[in-house]
A and B are shown apart, each in its own frame.
Chain A
Amino acid sequence: MIALVLGLVLSTYAPQQAGSALLDPAREARVQALGKQLRCPMCQGLSIADSNSSAARAQMDKVRELVAAGRTDQEIRDYFTSRYGEWALLEPPASGMNLLVWLLPLALLVGGGLAIARTMRRPVAAPDASAPPPGKEHAPADDPYLEAVRAELRR
């Protein structure tokens, strides 16, 4: 109960102004598609299009404003990354350091596959002619105790 009251009092989710008016269907579809690519700063793993938080609504209004002003998708993404960094993008671009994260698992998979293939193709080593015959490998000739046991058995 205390947690609920504190949550309501300290919460940053609250009734505020409504979002801006929707654009025509074609441009609004672009707004929603861009909103899906941008991360909500107050949420966990949600896009600004999927969040009802105040910050997400403010950012959606900004996307709408930039689309209405004729900005391209890339210009709008640049606008947000220049303020919030690549963190703002739900799917980081595959370039620079990010490229390593995309390519390394692939490289490891290919490398591992090749290593397994080579091991499986390698011929099994032929038995060594100098090795003792089966059953005799643990019988050194100079072991007096073993020789005594064998002598007893031969009797």
Chain B
Amino acid sequence: MNRRGLWIGLSLAAVTAVLLFVLAKGFGRDPHEVPFQLRGKPAPEFTLTRMDNGAPVRLSELKGKPLVLNFWASWCGPCKVEHPVIAWGAKRFGQEVQFYGVVFEDTEENARAFAGIPDPTFPQLLDERSRMAVDYGVTGVPETYFIDASGIIRDKVAAPVDPQTLMAKLAALKQPAGPVSEVVR
């Protein structure tokens, strides 16, 4: 093979390798899966209203104890299946972990009926216009966020949570966090 042929062969091999790399990167990913960018970052601050007593709840005041935030809506079928699991978790682990529900894109009347207000099994927060949900990168409901005692988002589950998953995620909250970077406000 002459010198020119060698160069052409090497160039073609390089272009093919880059194309294969790009394709492998693209095809190895579920196109419907929305990336979760807030893992390992400080949870965005919020001030929401408790639906049972109207008291304001601020994230900054919840630090010091792990926090589970469960986004739900009364019109969401899987949320109906999940709600008793979160209620069980709140009852069983409530001493060491805080559990809050956040209503997503729902009417207050329907949300109150769904959560059994004024006697909810765990505190429920109203999120007007779902502003706080979008701040957290919620893509739909149900979604459950696991935030450690220092206010770092450690994980989220974008599906109905079952008891095993809940226990595993709560155990992981006790593990030390990795490096932390800020979130664009």
Assess A83 versus B37: contact at CB under 8 Å? Given A17-B105, A42-B140, A108-B15: yes
Within 8 A of B (CB), among A80-124: 81-85, 87, 97, 100-101, 104, 107-108, 111, 115
Nearest-Cβ distance from residue A91 to partner chain B, whole angstroms: 15
Contacts of B129 in A (CB 8 A): 17, 20, 58, 61-62, 65
Nearest-Cβ distance from residue B23 to partner chain A, whole angstroms: 10
- The answer to whether A14 and B75 touch across the interface, beta carbons within 8 angstroms, is yes
The reply to whether the CB of B161 lies closer than 8 angstroms to some CB of chain A is: no
Complex interface bits, B101-114 against A, C-beta within 8 A gives 1, otherwise 0 = 00011110000000
- Count, chain B residues at interface, CB 8 A: 36
Main secondary structure on chain A at its contact with chain B? Answer: helix
**Which residue of the partner chain B has the closest CB to A88?**
B34
The reply to whether the CB of B157 lies closer than 8 angstroms to some CB of chain A is: no
Nearest-Cβ distance from residue B45 to partner chain A, whole angstroms: 15
A152–B113 alpha-carbon span in the complex (Å) = 110
Contacts of A14 in B (CB 8 A): 73, 75-76
The reply to whether the CB of A12 lies closer than 8 angstroms to some CB of chain B is: yes
Within 8 A of A (CB), among B31-86: 32, 34-35, 37-38, 73, 75-78
The reply to whether the CB of A9 lies closer than 8 angstroms to some CB of chain B is: yes
- The answer to whether A107 and B15 touch across the interface, beta carbons within 8 angstroms, is yes
- The answer to whether A44 and B76 touch across the interface, beta carbons within 8 angstroms, is no
The reply to whether the CB of A10 lies closer than 8 angstroms to some CB of chain B is: yes
Assess A104 versus B37: contact at CB under 8 Å? Given A17-B106, A41-B139, A42-B140: no
Assess A57 versus B105: contact at CB under 8 Å? Given A16-B73, A82-B183, A108-B15: yes
- Contact partner of A84 (CB less than 8 A), chosen from B22, B35, B130, B133, is B35
The reply to whether the CB of B134 lies closer than 8 angstroms to some CB of chain A is: yes
Query: A-side interface residues toward B, CB under 8 Å?
Result: 9-12, 14-17, 20, 41-42, 44, 53-55, 57-59, 61-62, 65, 78-79, 81-85, 87, 97, 100-101, 104, 107-108, 111, 115
Query: B-side interface residues toward A, CB under 8 Å?
Result: 8, 11, 15, 18-19, 22, 25, 32, 34-35, 37-38, 73, 75-78, 104-107, 129-131, 133-141, 183-185
